[in-house]
Structure 1
Amino acid sequence: MTAAAPTSPTTHPSRRENVSRAALALGAGVLVAMALPPWGFWPLAFVGVVLFDVALGDDPARGRRFLLGWLFGAGWMFVGMGWMIQLTGPGYVVAGVIFGGYHSVAAGLAPGGPWRILGRPALHTLAEALRFSFPFGGVPLASMGIAQVGGPFAPVVGVGGVILLTWIVFQLGTLMSVMWASRDRLSRPPTSILVWSMSAAVVGVITLSFVAPDGRPTGDTLTIAAVQGGGEQGTSALDVPSIVVTERHLEATAGIEPDPELDLVVWPENTIDVVTFESSDIAQSIVDEAARLDVPISVGLTEDVVIDGRRRFTNAQVVVTPDGEITSRYDKVRRVPFGEYVPLRSVLERISSAVDRVGDAVPGTTPAILELPSGEKLATVISWEIFFGGRVREGVELGANAVINPTNGASYTGTIVQTQQVASSRLRAIESGRWVVQVAPTGFTAFVDPDGTVVQRTAQSEQRVLIQEIEMRTGFTWYTSLGDAPFIVALIGAALVSMYFGGRFGWLTRRSRA
C-alpha cells in the first residue's frame, strides 16, 4: 500500500485526489463495520483506522477533515447499525447522519502534523463516548468494543471499559499510519516524542489489563436452566399472540427434569404479557412448574398500567418461588428509543401515524439487581441494557455475584442485533469479572464465563434449554471501581493539549518538515 502524499493547507489537491481520499475514508468506515459481528473479525477495525488516517493525511485543510470524518463515520454506522431499519427507517437515516457527524467534528477539531498522533485517537474516542449517551440515552451498538471482544485486547475493558478499548484501537491504528507515512521524521521531535510516548501508553494499558484484578470466586455455585421457547425470527407482538410465546416457554420448561442440583430457571424478557401477573392463570402455571422443580423461576413479564389516563406498560423481571411468592422484581430502566417509547412523540405524531404502533414503557427506578430466596444476588439488565456497561456495574457494586440478561430479539431478522448482543454480554463479563447468562425467546441464549468465553449458545429459532453450573464471584475489577469518568477526563485533556500545541505551534512543526 502506498500512502497518500502529505498535503499542506496551502496546497490545493486535485479533484481526483479529493475523490480518492473521500472513497478511502468511506471504505475505512465500512471496514470498521465489517469487523463487527456477524460479518468480520477484529483486525479489520485496525485496518480501517489506518486507512482513515491515510485518507486524512498529514495536515489537511479543516473543511476537508470535516467531510472525510463524516464519510468515515457514515460508512461505519450505516453498515454496523443496519438493524435499525427494522425498528425505524427514518430513525436509521437520522442516526447514521448524526453519529457520522460526531466523527466529522472529531476529525475537524483534531490537529494535523505530529500532534494528530495524540489528538485524533482522543477525539474520535470521545465521539464514541458521546454516542453511547446522547441523544435519547445513547445507541452503543456497532462499537469498537463489540468488534474487539474476540481479539487479544479485550481484557482492556476490565481496566477502563469500552471507552479505553476504543482508544486502544484508534491510537494503535494512528501510530501505525504515522510510522509508515512519516518514517523520515520519526527521529525528529515532536514526532519522535509523541510516537514513543503514545506507544508506551498503549503497551502500559495492555500490560495492566493482564495483571488487573478480575474478581474472585466465593466458593459457591449456582446451577441455572436458561429457557429458549423457540419460534420464528422477524415477528412482533402483533404477529404472534403473547400467549403463544408463553406456551412455548412452558412447554420447554416442562421438559426439565427435577434435579436437586438445579437452583434457578430463567425465562427471557416479554415472555408473559398480562394486565396483572399475580392474579393471572399464567402466574399459577409458573408456580406449578416452580413447585414441580422445587426451584424459583425468574420470568420476564409485561403488565398494562394506566397513568394519567394513558395506557402504558411495564417491562420487568421477577422471581417466583415454588410457594407462589414474588420475592424480587426489577423493572427495566433504560428503554429502547422508538421501540419502547417515542422521543418527541407529540411532534412525530403530526408527521406519521406509525408512532402509534409503539407503546410507552414506564421506566424503572429500582437498582439493577434481583435477589434469590437463597441469598444470591444477580445483576439484572434487561435486553437493551446489556449494551451499557454502567447498568451491570451498578448491580455488581451492590453485591451481585453473577449477571442475567433476559432479552427479546425476536422482532429482528438476520443476526446483527443478536450477535452484537452476545458480544456485549462477553464485554460485560470481562468488565465485571462475573458470569453472564443471556436468555432470549428465539436466540441467542448463552452462558458466558468471566473471561468472556461463550461456554454454551443456542441456535436461532430452536426450542432448547441450556443448563450450566456457574461460579458465584465477588470483588471488583478496576472498571467496576472507576467507571468511565476518569478515562473521559483524560481523553478530554489529551484532546485539548493536542489542539493547543497543534494549533499554537503549528508553524514550528511545519518548519521542521521543510
Structure 2
Amino acid sequence: MRTSGPSSASPWRRPAAAVLAGALPVLAFPAPGLWWWAWVTLVPWLLLVRSAPDGRAAAREGWLGGFAFMLAMHHWLLPSLHVFTFVIAALLGALWAPWGVLVRRLLGASATPGRVAAGLVVVPSGWLAVELVRSWQGLGGPWGMLGASQWEVAPALRLASVGGVWLLSFLVVAVNTAVAVLVVHRRARVAALTGLLATGAATASAWVWSPGPGNGARASVAVVQPGIVAGPDSAERRFDRQERLTRDLAGRDVDLVVWGESSVGHDLADRPDLARRLAALSRETGADLLVNVDARRSDRPGIYKSSLLVGPGGPTGDRYDKMRLVPFGEYVPARSLLGWATSVGKAADEDRRRGTGQVVMETGDGLRIGPLVCFESAFPDMSRRLARDGAALLLAQSSTSTFQDTWAPAQHASLAALRAAETGRPMVHATLTGVSAVYDGRGERVGPWLGTGASTAEVYEVPLARGGTTPYVRFGAWPVGGALLTLAVWGAAEGAARVRRRAPAPPAPSARTAHGSPARPGR
C-alpha cells in the first residue's frame, strides 16, 4: 500500500503554522522595532484560525499562537527561568483559545456579511479582553501589549493620550482584521474598507483635535548610569562608581539626580555612612537625589525596593515602596505550589514585600515627582494615578542587568514613551546598566538614549507640562469598557438567536381547519 509523504505530515502543518503566525508580532517591538509590521502582523494568524475545520481546532490554534506570542515576547527570560518560561507561555497562551473560537465564528467561510462586519469590532474587542486579563500583575503584567509597538509613532502617541495603549491595541487589531477580511471575504469588503477609513479618520481627528501638553518651565535632570559592576562587593563598588559620576555633576545647575533601581544595597538606617555620603553629594551638586534601596528594612521585617529622596541634610522622609513585584523575579506566586521554579532557574529565593500606596514627592526646588520602580512602568494605571495626584515629572528606576544582551532593555525603555504620552507628563527612565531614556509630555525623546554599554552621568533639559490633563488621565481605560460592552452585547445577541433557533415550530393547522371548518373532537 502506498502512502503519501505530504499527507502523513499534514497533522503538524496547522499547529506549526499557528506557532509561527503567533510569534510574528514580536518583530514590531524593540529591538527589531518594525512598528509598521504591527498593522498587518496578525493577518496570517487570523486567516489560519478562520479556516479551522471546527471550533476545537480554532481554540487550539488560538492557544498555540498565543503561546508563541508570549514566548517570543519573553524569550529573554529563558536563561533565568529555563523550562519554566515555556510553562508560563503555555498558561498565558490559553487566554487566546476563546479568541480563536471568536475569530472562526465571525470570520469563517460560512459567516454572513453582517456577521463579518460585526467581527471588525468584536474580534479586536476580544483581543482587548485578553490583554486586560493578562495585564493582571499576578499573570505577568501588561508587557508586550500590541499597542505598545507604536511607541515611536507620533500620531499613535497622540491617540494614546486619548485612550491609552488600550486604544492603540484595539485599532491595531481592527486594522489587521479588516485586512484579513479584504483578502478572503469579497461580500464584506465594503465593511472592511469602511473600518479602515474609520481608523484613519480617528487617527486624524486625534492628531488635530486632542489637546497636546504645552511645554512650560524646564527641569534639569541628571541620570546616573554606572554600567555593569560584577564580582565580590559589587554593591559597594557600584555605590562608589555612582558617587564619582554624581560628583562630576557639580556646577552644572542640576535640579534632580536620579539613580537606577537597586542602586543602594543597604538600608540607610543601618548604614548612616552611606546616608551622609548621599547628603554630601546633594550639597555638592545643589540637587536632591532620588536613589533606590534594595535591602532588608531595619524598621520592619522583609526586603523592600524603595525609592528614597535625599537632600542636603540627608533622607527627606519621602519614600515609595515598590507595589507591583515581578513574578518569579521578586516573588514566586503560590510558592507552596510553584516553589520548584527556584530549582530550575533564577527565581526569587525569598519574596520581597510590597508597598501599600503610591507617593508623589516634592524636591527642595518644588518639583513634584512621581516614582515608579522597574516593572511598574508597564502599568498604565500607575502613571495615570501619579498624574492625577499632581506629579509634574514621572520617573522609573530600573535595572535589566540580568538581561543585558537581550531585547529586554530596549523594550523596557520604550514603555516610558507611552506613559508620557498617556499622561501628558514627561518621564525619565533611569537604569543601572541601560537602556536609560527621557521623553517629554508628548512621548517624544529628549536627548540621547544611554545604551547598555554606557557608564556615565547625562543631564537632560526636560520640558514640563503647563498643567491640564489628557483625556486618558480624565477618563481612564474607556476602550476596555467599550470592548467588554461590545462582547456582552454580541454574546446576548448570539444567545437570543440560539434560543430562537431551538424554539419548537407552531403546529401546522389541519386541512379542514385551514378551510374554516371547525375540527370535531375525537370519539
Determine if the TM-score, normalized by the shorter chain, exceeds 0.5.
yes
Distance in 2 between the 1:117 and 1:507 partners? 25
Q: Render the CA deviation track for 1:287-339: whole Å, top value 9, x for unaligned.
A: 1111112221111112313799xx52111111111122424221111111111
Aligned twin of 2:310: 320
Identify if the C-alpha distance between structure 1 residues 350 and 162 changes in structure 2 by more than 3 Å, giving closer, same or farther: closer
Distance 1:15 1:431, change over 3 A: farther
Partner letter of residue 218 of structure 2?
Answer: T
The verdict on how the C-alpha distance between 1:363 and 1:357 changes in structure 2, with shifts beyond 3 A counting, is: closer
Correspondence 1:458 to 2:438:
no
Amino acid at match of 2:204: T
Q: Which amino acid aligns with 1:144?
A: L
CA pair 240-33 structure 1, distance change in 2 beyond 3 A: farther
Match of 2:149 in 1: 147
Following the alignment from structure 2 to structure 1, what is the Cα–Cα distance between the partners of residues 58 and 167? 24
Match of 1:186 in 2: 188
Contact 2:40 2:175 in 1 (8 A): no
What does residue range 29-48 of structure 1 map to in structure 2 within 5 Å? Answer: 29-48=22-41
**8 A contact 1:368–1:392 mirrored in 2:** no
Of 305, 326, 331, 1:341 maps to 331
Letter in 1 for 2:331: Y
**What SS class does the counterpart of residue 361 from structure 1 fall into?**
coil
Letter in 2 for 1:132: S
Please report how far the alpha carbon of residue 254 of structure 1 lies from its aligned counterpart in structure 2 after TM superposition.
2.0
Matches within 5 A, 1:254-273: 254-259=247-252, 261-273=253-265
Identical-pair percentage:
24
Task: Tell me how far 1:495 sits from its aligned partner.
Answer: 2.1
Alignment map for 1:60-139 (pairs within 5 Å): 60-110=53-103, 111-112=105-106, 113=111, 114=116, 115-133=118-136, 136=138, 138-139=140-141
Task: Find the residue that maps to 1:53 and give its secondary structure.
Answer: helix
Unaligned runs of 5+ in 2: 1-6, 501-523
Q: Which residue of 2 aligns with 1:373?
A: 364
User: Does 2:472 match 1:475?
Assistant: no
Shift of the alpha carbon at 1:220? 2.4
Q: Which amino acid in structure 1 is aligned with residue 429 of structure 2? A: Q
Partner of 2:3: none
Contact map agreement 1:224 1:264 (CA 8 A) in 2: yes
Q: Secondary structure at the match of 1:475?
A: coil
Give the secondary-structure state (helix, strand or coil) at the position aligned to 1:79. helix
Contact 1:155 1:209 in 2 (8 A): yes
The answer (yes or no) to whether the contact 2:342–2:348 under 8 Å persists in 1 is: no
Instruction: Check conservation: 1:302, 1:313, Cα contact below 8 A.
Output: yes
Q: What whole-Å deviation, never above 9, does each CA across 1:447-477 have from its counterpart, x for those lacking one?
A: 1122222222112132111101112222111
Q: Which has the higher contact order (CA 8 A, sep 6+)?
A: 1
Largest Rg, 1 or 2: 2
Change (3 A) 1:27 1:279: closer
Q: Distance in 2 between matches of 1:40 and 1:438?
A: 19
Find the counterpart in structure 1 of residue 399 from structure 2: 408
Residue-by-residue CA offset, 1:84-116 (whole Å, 9 max, x unaligned): 224423441222112211111221244332143
2:213 aligned with 1:222: no
Counterpart contact for 1:31–1:47, Cα < 8 Å: no
Shift of 1:56: 2.0
CA positional deviation for 1:505: 5.5
Q: CA deviation at 1:436?
A: 0.9
1:241 aligns with 2:241: no
Q: Deviations over 1:326-384 (max 9, x none)?
A: 24221111111111112112333467557885332221123242211222211211111
Cα distance, 1:195 vs. partner?
3.5
Q: Deviations over 1:248-267 (max 9, x none)?
A: 111211222323x3211111
Specify which of 293, 301, 308 is matched with residue 301 of structure 1: 293
Whole-angstrom distance in 2 between the partners of 1:312 and 1:453: 39
Query: Hey, what does 1:418 align to over in structure 2?
Result: 409
Task: Check whether the contact 1:327–1:373 (CA below 8 A) recurs between aligned residues.
Answer: no
**Residue in 2 aligned with 1:429?**
420
* Structure 1: distance between partners of 2:298 and 2:309: 24
Q: Give the distance between the partners of 1:439 and 1:31, measured in 2 at CA.
A: 30
Of residues 399-408 and 107-116 in structure 1, the stretch that sits farther from structure 2 once superposed is 107-116
CA positional deviation for 1:286: 0.9
Give the secondary-structure state (helix, strand or coil) at the position aligned to 1:457.
coil
Contact 1:122 1:491 in 2 (8 A): yes
For the 8 Å contact 2:20–2:65, the answer to whether it is kept is yes
Matching residue within 211, 214, 222 for 1:213:
211
Displacement of 1:21: 4.0
Give the corresponding residue for 1:6: none
- RMSD over aligned CA atoms reads 2.8
Question: Structure 1 stretch 54-63 or stretch 364-373: which is displaced more?
Answer: 54-63
CA distance in 2: counterparts of 1:137 and 1:330, whole angstroms? 23
Per the alignment, residue 8 of structure 1 pairs with none
Query: Could you tell me which amino acid in structure 2 is paired with residue 381 of structure 1?
Result: L
Contact 1:271 1:441 in 2 (8 A): yes
Deviation at residue 119 of structure 1 after TM alignment: 2.3
Aligned in 2, Cα 1:399/1:258: closer, same or farther, shift over 3 Å?
Answer: same
Secondary structure of the corresponding residue to residue 472 of structure 2: helix
Task: Say whether the 8 Å CA contact 2:226–2:238 is kept in structure 1.
Answer: yes
Alignment match, 1:172: 175
| 3-state DSSP of counterpart to 1:48 | coil
Q: CA deviation at 1:502?
A: 5.8
1:160 alignment counterpart: 163
For the 8 Å contact 2:269–2:298, the answer to whether it is kept is no
- 1:159–1:479 Cα contact (<8 Å) kept: yes
Distance in 2 separating the partners of 1:137 and 1:86: 20
1:123, 1:495 within 8 Å by CA — same for their partners in 2?
A: yes
1:313–1:227: structure 2 CA closer, same or farther, 3 Å change rule? same
Which residue pairs with 2:199 in the alignment?
Answer: 202
Q: d(CA) in 2 for partners of 1:197 and 1:368?
A: 45
Name the count of aligned residue pairs.
Answer: 479
Residues 400 and 229 (structure 1), Cα distance of their counterparts in 2 relative to 1, 3 Å cut? same
Cα distance in 2, alignment partners of residues 164 and 372 from structure 1: 34
- The alpha-carbon deviation at position 276 of structure 1 amounts to 3.7
Q: Structure 1, residues 196-249: CA drift from partner, whole Å, max 9, x if none?
A: 6644552343234312123334x32211111111225xx6xx866311211111
- 8 Å CA contact 2:81, 2:347 repeated in 1: no
Aligned to 1:495: 487
Name the SS of the counterpart of 1:272 in structure 2: coil
Cα distance in 2 for partners of 1:460, 1:345 equals: 33
CA change 1:86–1:479 in 2 (3 A) is farther
Within the candidate set 321, 326, 331, 1:331 is matched to: 321
How far apart are the structure 1 equivalents of 2:484 and 2:348? 41
Partner Cα separation in structure 1 for residue 247 and residue 393 of structure 2: 25
CA contact (8 A) 1:321 1:327 kept: no
Q: For the Cα contact (< 8 Å) 1:158–1:431, is it kept in 2?
A: yes
Distance in 2 (alpha carbons) for counterparts of 1:502 and 1:116: 13
Per the alignment, do residues 15 and 71 of structure 1 end up closer, same or farther by CA in structure 2, a change over 3 Å counting? Answer: farther
> Aligned letter for 1:249?
Q
